[in-house]
């Protein structure tokens, strides 16, 4: 019986250690994915939070946050948040499509843009995300980052 109690005690310490390790690892991963890059113009800040290569490498989802420092963001139903953002992957220009967005607060919106990924690209590609219109506000928002296959 004493042997079982020592085993159970040691096992519970091991399980606790694994749980703590998972929490620390997830926290570190979340912090590293909070921001890829940002750009600000006319009091509107565009931040790319992270990206995901989906659909067997054929598409990329770019997740972003828009924040207004000067006024309220109007989220009009049926309006695309970003009008056809231009995205360059390597040296190839592709058109992004505003897939979804949702209003988080009166000054913050989160959303995603879908992009068709060029079939042939290097293992690491430079990306330039560029838009000149956010919720009908003219400006210039450009963010550069790298993606991996």
Q: Are residues 58 and 90 in the same domain?
A: yes
Q: What is the pLDDT of residue 11?
A: 55
What CA dihedral angle connects 62, 59, 75 and 131, to 10 degrees? 70
Is 60 exceeded by the pLDDT of residue 41? yes
Distances (CA, A) of 31 to 127, 132, 135: 21, 29, 28
Q: Please indicate, yes or no, whether residues 140 and 121 belong to a single structural domain of this protein.
A: yes
DSSP annotation of 59: E
Find, among 75, 45, 36, the residue nearest to 141 by Cα: 45
Q: Would you state the pLDDT for residue 80?
A: 67
Q: Do residue 48 and residue 119 come from a single domain?
A: yes
Number of domains, the chain: 2
pTM of the complete model? 0.73
Do 67 and 128 sit in the same domain of this protein?
A: yes
Residue 35 has pLDDT above 60, yes or no: yes
Give the CATH number, domain containing residue 137.
Answer: 2.60.40.1630
**Structural domain for 10, as ranges:** 1-32
pLDDT recorded at residue 18: 59
Asked if residue 117 lies in contact with residue 90, where contact means CB atoms within 8 angstroms, the answer is: no
Per residue in 44-88, pLDDT (tens digit) is 999 999 999 999 989 999 999 999 887 666 655 556 688 789 999
- In a shared domain, residues 129 and 89: yes
């Amino acid at each position: 019986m004493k042997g079982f109690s020592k085993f159970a005690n040691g096992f519970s310490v091991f399980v606790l250690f694994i749980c703590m390790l998972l929490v620390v690892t997830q926290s570190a991963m979340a912090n590293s994915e909070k921001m890829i890059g940002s750009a600000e113009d006319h009091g509107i800040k565009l931040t790319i939070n992270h990206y995901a290569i989906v659909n067997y490498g054929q598409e990329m989802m770019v997740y972003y946050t828009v924040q207004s420092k000067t006024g309220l963001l109007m989220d009009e139903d049926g309006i695309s948040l970003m009008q056809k953002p231009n995205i360059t992957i390597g040296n190839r220009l592709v058109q992004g499509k505003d897939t979804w967005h949702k209003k988080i607060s009166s000054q913050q919106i989160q959303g995603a843009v879908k992009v068709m990924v060029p079939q042939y690209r290097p293992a690491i590609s430079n990306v330039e995300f560029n838009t000149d219109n956010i919720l009908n506000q003219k400006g210039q928002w450009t963010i550069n980052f790298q993606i991996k296959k």
